[in-house]
Amino acid sequence: MSGIKKIEFGLMSPSLIRKLAVMEITSPDVYDTDALPVDGGIMDLHLGVVDPGSRCKTCLGKIDTCTGHFGYISLAKPIVNVLYINYLKKILQLTCAKCGAILLDENDIKKIAANEEETFLTLKKVSGAKPCPVCGEEQEKIKLEKPHTFKKGKTIMNPEDIKEHLERISDEDLKKIGFNGGRPEWMIMTLFLIPPISSRPSIMLENGDRSEDDLTHKLVDIIRINERLKENVNIETPSFIIDDLWELLQYHITTYFNNELTNIPPARHKSGRLLKTLSSRLKTKEGRFRLNLTGKRVNFSSRGVISPDPLIHINEVGVPRSVAEELTIPEVVNEKNKNYMKDIIKNAGNYPTAQYVISDGVRKKVMESNADIIVEGLENGDIVERQMIDGDIVLFNRQPSLHRMSIMAHYAKIMPGNTFRLNLCVCKPYNADFDGDEMNLHLMQTAEARAEAKKLMLVEENMRSPKAGAPVMGCDQDYISGAYMLTKNSTILTKKEAARVLAAADIFVDLDKEKYTGKELVSFLIPKNISITYETDICSICELNEKANCKHDYNVIIKNGQLMQGVLESKGLASFKGKLLNEIDMLCGHKEAVDFLYNITRIILEFMIMKGFSISIDDVSVSKEANVKIKAEIKNLRKKTQKFIEDYKSGEIKGKYGLKPEELLEGKIIKEISDVTSKTQKIIEADAGENGAIIMARTGARGSLQNLIYMSAFLGQELVRGKRIFRGYENRTLPFFEKGDLSLEAHGFDSNSLKDGISYTNFFFEIMKGREGLMDSSLKTKVSGYMQRRLVNALQDFVVDKDKKVVGANGEIVQFIAGEDRIDPAKSNFGKPFKNREDSEYEDGEAIGIVSSQSISEPATQTTLRSYHAEGRLTLTTTKGLPRILELIDGRKEPKTPAMEIYLTKEYNNEKSAYAVASKIKEIKLIDILKEDTINAFDLAVELIINEKIAESFSIKIPEVMESIKKADKTVASVVKDNKIIVTYKKENKTIQDLHGLRVKLRDVYVGGIKLIKQVIIEKEGNDWKIKTLGSNLRKVLKIKGVDATRTICNNIFEVKRVLGIEAARNVIVNEIWSTMKEQGVKTNIRHLLLVADCMTYPGTIKSIGRAGLSGAKYSVLARANFEETVKNLTRASIIGETENFNGIVENLIVGSVVPIGTAKVKLKMKE
């Protein structure tokens, strides 16, 4: 299979079918009375064998050598191939029924000739009935009645009529319209190809009966009906009987190809189960492409439950001995290993030994009885299949494999027990935990694979994440708490204790002092060339920020490997944020960083065992004094919110900044709750001192101070969709509250803590919040999974070439400089290059497309990219999180919530001018300035009274309103009388019902502002006043005086492209994905987003990620078919005669060739 260089797709001609087939099938019988295959039947041994003892009558091969052979059926009448039905419709419609000439106009023909990608299939409209330009024949309209009936005018076209029509088309005309796959009449079958037996094997049941494949069942039906039709044609039976049998044969062949068509009953077994026919076997996740060709089963692998082992090295994986005894490695005998190979063969019956020895092509099983004989005959060049031993390199994988660190290489460590053992520090990249997770182990069989795994895939080589350019492994949970406790100033150890702690990391030195601090012990591990200063995450305990003079010892100073000051916690040792870990990895290399990480966890573990660490219920209790302060804050909160509610009800809170009074009230309440939560956090911090729970929360080991507030102070405000809870009954959330109650408790606030027990009303609110989280997570998983599949499929062929460009499978250039600066995030310091810049550059052949796809979709899958979240202030409700990212990569022309951020020029940068500009921007409808509208039943008219004050604030005058009404509906007339606008229909016979409809219609009349901008709010950001809008109209907004066109932002990528061009649209894609992920606390290197945006925009238009965009535009037929619409892509390729050149990843994977990325991109030439 690896020798395949090219595949040409096309239609099969009858002559090719005869050439390919070894025999004609004529009998509908399968087996005779002796249960032997019938000659001329569909299980005839000329078509291949599936029974171990049988021989093929064509090639004389057995089941292991015969791949099977095709047969054919001569159809009694031509049959339409239903897979090509839409193509048949198009070609029938665009060719003359009399002479076969093309009915397309010259412009369409020139368009197809000028562009390789254009064919008659890409034309949006095919010519309808019109005279033929060649013979002048008037054309009748041809329609398709699905699934397979064509009508010319009112006459049904049978397959013979269609075939005759298609035969009239010349080869020259076919080339003109891009039909290069053969002759169109070959879509009407006269010969039917029978697949080999090996593709539809029968199975033996327990009772000795045979169960035939679904395809075989279908073929029996086809042959039986075909033979009946032949007999009836030969004896010239009445035409209606022949037509019925012809239609039945068409049905059986149609369901053989596709048994899931609408408007046609599916073929079923007697049990009622649907037959799985050709189309079903190719498409979907269970189809041939995805299940068997791109996803392959492997040997020499194992799967089992994982469990933690803090003593095993980070580079190692603990393998159960039972697994090691089963998995083998082939080793070639040579002078260096000959004695060792003899020793393990002699160890037959024990572990480790050899399972087999291959000598001169003969495979011998090693047993105690023949071990000595095999040893005596062992020669150089023989292959010994030995059992796995300590130090063998293996691949370890956890599914779902969301990024490249989901599969890494480890050294095997053979251990007792039945689970795979893993160091806790390596859990993060695998996203593994120990609640029953299972992982896969693969033992590589070739020296080349083992060498590549050791160099490229070893755990230490994957220390840095390509997503963010930071260490992906680090200390976690108890290690963080232990590091903090070990490095505190108050930690003093005796000489004996210090020796015990250091011995855990295999450090044996002469200790010349009687007492040692934890800082001194940690300094034994830090490389001598490390000097670093940073503030810890718990430095915010006070506001002095005295750094080197910090009395709390929270400012870390390391000089020449000595921890002079400060404590180690998550900011120094955790994955992604550990500054000390990052510095060691940068300056000393991955091996040193992994060894440091392993050693520090060993001494922390020993210290924790020695000193102990735990939490109790008292750790989440606060003192009486603190409790009094917290209750006082809550009481004060209630007073303030009650005052806000009274002001709102009395009308003192008025609409401002584009927000309604009720929205401003909500904003004030949420801000007060947020302030009280912050104050409570400080009270608890000051009160708690330093117990176990506080240590875990402060150091970043586990949980947060917010969790402690929930447990010991109050639950606070429950939010649904980022807002206080207003859902429930009419005008109230629960029946326990009065209607119109706006108080804290009535909308989800709970002043009780978890320790005290939550209130009965908050059980309901807590469930509402929990349901939102549950739905967000469960629905998100499949959506983000599909997003990753689309991203990877679209970008997988983009690699870095030797010039550091990013190129596709067919040489298309997406970036002239990879990442715009050649820097590989996986070899960078949080995106910045190392001191030696060349060390941070991309390698040739780097699969940059896949890595970028994973770097965006992995956090989208693993973290909760919520659609809503609390901002602590009121703002416009726009699409956020995963739904927004999907909008962007799908290239949706109309986003769900188009929005703009409008900045003002220097002279307009003040509150008054911001209001003036905002009044010109917001779309104003008549309802917005209407004081009253009534129906005058006597005059049959609608009377409108305008609120002049509001209209004046929007600079709208009554004549302008009348003009707007006139533009909106030319069938009405309007006059002004006594400050009223009187509107009525011009027609005579109007009714009251007409006026009610007119009244509703008038309220929606556009009278001012910019259309599509539904809402505006005004915000102050630093020294800048800005206007945020819901809805966008960039072109018109930029024309308004006072708008700063250089800073104004629109989130609608298609609108930006229309106004500012493709480069601006590309920047919007990058900025929008970046801001969405940042908002959710996800850090992804900007270079990944740049590549995705470049791939979407490099053709000069915005291409979506998916079958309608980048994935559907691939040159590779197999890659397109593997992704989606399998049958459609294969049939389309055969119509236009496409060629598969195997330039990309998927197509090479399908045929078992080496994929052209990474080390496989390198070609070696022998020097002559």
pLDDT on residue 545 = 59
Residue 872 confidence (pLDDT): 44
- Within-domain flag for 1137: no
Structural domains in the chain (count): 7
What are the DSSP calls for 367-412, one per residue? -TTTHHHHHHT--TT-EEEEEP-TT-EEEEE-SS--SGGGEEEEEE
What CATH number has the domain bearing residue 552?
1.10.274.100
* Residue 432 within any structural domain of the chain: yes
Q: Flag the least confident range among 128-137, 191-200, 252-261, 426-435.
A: 128-137
Of the residues 340, 362, 387, the one at which a domain ends: 387
Is the predicted pLDDT of residue 453 greater than 80, yes or no? Answer: yes
In this structure, the answer to whether residues 598 and 500 fall within a common structural domain is yes
Residues 653 and 664: beta-carbon distance below 8 Å: yes
Residues 84-117 have pLDDT tens digits of 999 999 999 889 989 999 887 777 777 777 776 6
C-alpha to C-alpha distances, 730 to 420, 537, 748, nearest whole angstrom: 57, 46, 16
Report CA dihedral (395, 400, 404, 410) to the nearest 10 degrees: -20
C-alpha–C-alpha distance, residues 22 and 47, integer Å: 7
Same domain assignment for residues 1028 and 1062: no
pLDDT grade for 1, boundaries at 50, 70 and 90? very low
> Is residue 112 in a domain?
no
- Closest C-alpha among 163, 182, 190 to residue 72: 190
What local confidence, expressed as pLDDT, does residue 698 receive?
A: 86
pLDDT above 90 (res 936): no
CB proximity list for 1060: less than 8 A, separation 6 or greater: 1034
Query: Which residues does 858 contact at the CB level (< 8 Å), separation at least 6?
Result: 402, 403, 467, 788
Calculate the dihedral angle through the C-alpha atoms of 564, 569, 573, 576, rounding to the nearest 10 degrees.
Answer: -130
Q: What is the mean pLDDT of residues 1026-1031?
A: 90
Rg over alpha carbons for the chain, rounded to the nearest Å, is 38
Say whether both 284 and 426 belong to one domain: no
Confidence of residue 544 (pLDDT cuts 50, 70, 90): low
| Domain match, 380 and 438 both | no
| CA gap 593, 585 in Å, rounded | 5
According to DSSP, the β-strands at 316-320 and 407-415 are parallel
pLDDT at residue number 870: 45
Helix axis angle, 1062-1079 relative to 1053-1060, nearest 10°? 150
pLDDT at res. 871: 45
Q: Which two tokens stand for residue 474?
A: 């680090």
What Cα–Cα distance (Å) separates residue 259 from each residue in 218, 256, 267, 756, 1128? 10, 6, 7, 62, 15
Helix boundaries (H) for 463-589 = 478-487, 495-503, 518-523, 570-573, 579-588
Same domain? For 301 and 285 the reply is no
Angstrom distance (rounded) from CA 1018 to CA 884: 23
pLDDT in the model for residue 549: 65
Considering the domain architecture, whether residues 692 and 836 belong to the same structural domain is answered as: no
Kindly state whether residue 71 falls inside one of the protein's structural domains: no
Residue 455 has pLDDT above 80, yes or no: yes
Confidence of residue 741 (pLDDT cuts 50, 70, 90): confident
Give the CATH number, domain containing residue 701.
Answer: 1.10.132.30
Kind and range of the H or E element at 86? helix 85-93
Tell me whether residue 280 is in a domain: yes
Residues 279 and 338 placed together within one structural domain of the fold: no
Residue with the larger pLDDT of the pair 674 and 15? 15
3-state secondary structure of 261: coil
Domain boundary among 1036, 1056, 1076: 1056
244 vs 782, higher pLDDT: 244
Q: Does residue 881 have a pLDDT over 90?
A: no
Question: 906 and 1029: one domain?
Answer: yes
For residue 493, is it within any domain? yes
**Most confidently modeled range among 305-309, 683-687, 984-988:** 305-309
Distance CA 630, CA 95 (A): 84
Q: Per mean pLDDT, which range of 36-50, 590-604, 985-999, 1119-1133 is the poorest?
A: 985-999
**Does a cis peptide bond (omega within 30 degrees of 0) precede residue 416?**
no
- Cis peptide leading into residue 1099 (ω within 30°): no
Q: Is residue 28 part of a domain?
A: no
What CATH number should be reported for the domain holding residue 373? Answer: 3.30.1490.180
Q: Are residues 746 and 636 located together in one domain of the fold?
A: yes
Residue in this structure with the two tokens 């020097």, named with its chain if needed:
1167
Q: Taking the C-alpha atoms of 797, 803, 804 and 806 in order, what is their torsion angle to the nearest 10 degrees?
A: -30
Tell me, what's the pLDDT at 869? 46
Residue 535, pLDDT score = 86
In a domain, 147, yes or no: no
Domain boundary among 246, 266, 293: 293
Euclidean distance between CA atoms 1158 and 872, whole angstroms: 47
Per-chain mean pLDDT for the chain: 89
Please determine, for residue 791, whether its predicted confidence score (pLDDT) is greater than 50: yes
β-strand pairing of 383-387 with 328-332: antiparallel
pLDDT single digits (tens) 1083-1120:
899 999 999 999 999 999 999 998 888 888 899 999 99
Average pLDDT over residues 510-521: 90
Whether residues 711 and 749 fall in one domain? yes
Residue holding tokens 């044969």? 249
Distances (CA, A) of 669 to 636, 644, 676, 717, 941: 12, 8, 11, 10, 45
Q: Could you read off the pLDDT of 184-231 as tens digits, one per residue?
A: 999 999 999 999 999 999 988 878 788 899 999 999 999 999 999 999
* pLDDT for 2 beyond 60: no
Domain membership of residue 751 as a residue range = 617-758
662 lies in the same domain as 699: yes
1046 and 1093 in a single domain? The answer is no
Higher pLDDT, 748 or 863: 748
pLDDT 10s digits, 340-381: 999 999 999 899 999 999 998 899 999 998 999 999 989 999
How far apart, in whole angstroms, are the C-alpha atoms of residue 1009 and residue 1026?
17
pLDDT digits (tens, 9 = 90+) for 154-163: 899 999 999 9
